[in-house]
Chains A and B, each alone.
Chain A
Amino acid sequence: MSIYELIRDTLQSLNIPVSINENVDKNAVSFIIIIPLYDGFDVFADNKPGIEINEVELAIYTKGNYLKLVKDITDLLIEADFTITNRRYIEFEKDTKLHHYIIDVAMEFSY
């Protein structure tokens, strides 16, 4: 299972559109876009990689109370064993009235 499927499954209970590309329902009160950041190999043996590290950014857009939503998402991600490498409020978009918050997550997979 890829990191994208894992994130989608993890956040399914929130009933928020989650998409890897921009084809997400932007009229929704909240939506999440997954942005790929880095895919790398680590821990080599016999000239072969043993672990693959995937890092992605979750761009969370919401018109509501972003604090509760971010806490719920963070709790679910931690529960699912994701490593959270960064969490930051980016801005309030005046034109769309959306709060923009990012959570960077990483996950190791056996290769």
Chain B
Amino acid sequence: MAVVNYKLPDEILEKMTKLGEKSDEVIKKVLQEGAEPLYDVAKQNLKDSIGRDTKQESRSKGDLLKSIRITWPFLDRNGNWSIKVGCEGIDSKGVSNALKASVLEHGKSNQVARPWLKPSGSKAKKACIEKMKEVFEAEVDKL
């Protein structure tokens, strides 16, 4: 009976070993750059949502728009690397920006909802995946 052996080229084996060693570093970079399309879309949507169709003239000072951030990559409770886009901190009047962003997103019984975050996720999903692929391939090529 014929016996066939397959051997991977040394270069690929070395790259795979290096990728294993540097996986956390590569994942962090992929997430940070991959979140950028979502950040751009979310910021634009938030800008459009603030003060839209309000009963009274908007008195926005721009604190909420300035508070939107991409977090540092973090390990979640399942041990997976994650990253988030959202509003943080408090505004000039001491009100939580996350609370204001939530009221804007979901509304109240007497206040119209102006969703900005969830539509951003759906709209930017493909762009984020493509960006992550691009960054991952670039990082692998550098190994």
Contact = CB atoms under 8 A, between A and B. Distances in A.
A57 B109 contact: no
B108 A40 contact: no
Contacts of A33: 107, 113
Contacts of B122: 37-38, 40, 53, 55
B119 interface: yes
B119 A59 contact: no
Contacts of A96: 109-110
Given A38-B123, A100-B106, A57 B112 contact: no
B118 A55 contact: yes
Interface string B91-127: 0000000000010001111101101001100110000
A100 to B, nearest CB: 7
Nearest to B108: A93
Interface residues of B, number: 13
A90 interface: yes
A77 interface: no
A35 interface: yes
Contacts of B113: 33, 35, 57, 59
Interface in B59-77: none
Contacts of A72: none
A64 to B, nearest CB: 14
A37 B110 contact: no
Interface of A: 22, 26, 33, 35-38, 40, 53, 55, 57, 59, 61, 86, 90, 93, 96, 98, 100, 102, 104
18 contacts: A26-B110, A33-B107, A35-B113, A37-B119, A38-B118, A38-B119, A38-B122, A38-B123, A40-B122, A55-B119, A55-B122, A57-B115, A59-B106, A61-B109, A90-B102, A96-B109, A100-B106, A100-B108
Interface of B: 102, 106-110, 112-113, 115, 118-119, 122-123
The 3 closest A-B pairs by CB, nearest first: A38-B122, A38-B119, A35-B113
Given A35-B115, A37-B118, A98-B109, 18 more contacts: A22-B112, A26-B109, A26-B110, A33-B107, A33-B113, A35-B107, A37-B122, A38-B119, A38-B122, A40-B122, A55-B118, A55-B119, A57-B118, A59-B113, A90-B102, A90-B106, A96-B110, A104-B118
